[in-house]
Structure 1
């Protein structure tokens, strides 16, 4: 009888965290869709077509299970989420045309040299943030400031945009 009760408890207990995770992931995606986000692939395709450009993307430093994008004529916002990690992680990338360079060279930023001689601007507050321009586009990406990522790793992400 004890084995039966234990089996029932395990049967009902184990799926609950998995179900709760799926529900919260669905809630996040639905909330983002209400804010205009859609699949990353569709957002990139629309932005590239309307601006006649080719967007470069980074190798995100974690395994994202949710990838969303939002585009307009002048701005592309991409978000990667790993909701399975504790705490959850997010990586944000904003791409604009070079005529709209409001986030380059912010005060309190450190000028860094990327590969191919590209000048970037690194700053850290609650997020590690790096901005740079290449091929007619401005890129700004950020990741939550944790001890897991160093300034050098954040700069290396910029060196691996493809």
Structure 2
């Protein structure tokens, strides 16, 4: 019966009443700085079939498994293990090596490897502002910002710098 899941008719010749399987990743792009926590959203709704939902970094044969229900993933946790539809994850202590596009993938149980059924659109994680700045900047930057940096259209840097000073 699982082999006939994607066909228009059931083995008895009757069209099954079912909702289309959807994998939603609400964020297109997320920006996070090194050492911070990254939250990636994913919801799976519609037709159900046996098999896991997994997270991968990248696509194709070179993709890297980031999270699955079975296994140990040191910095990655599922946000709501009790949900049948919410498969969001948290990645702690993000590094530059975590940059890339993350895919939430619904799979069906197979003999040996599980088979991809539906893949989300992906969420791209980009490296954000880092606090590893030269030591001379704290005394130099505040007087320098008002006159020069706005003309270079880098007010985003000044906002991040102000936030960094406030948060410590």
Short-chain TM bin:
under 0.3
Larger radius of gyration: 2
Higher relative helix content? 1
TM-score, normalising length: structure 1: 0.26
Greater relative contact order: 1 or 2 (C-alpha under 8 angstroms, separation 6 or more)? 2
- TM-score, normalisation: structure 2: 0.25
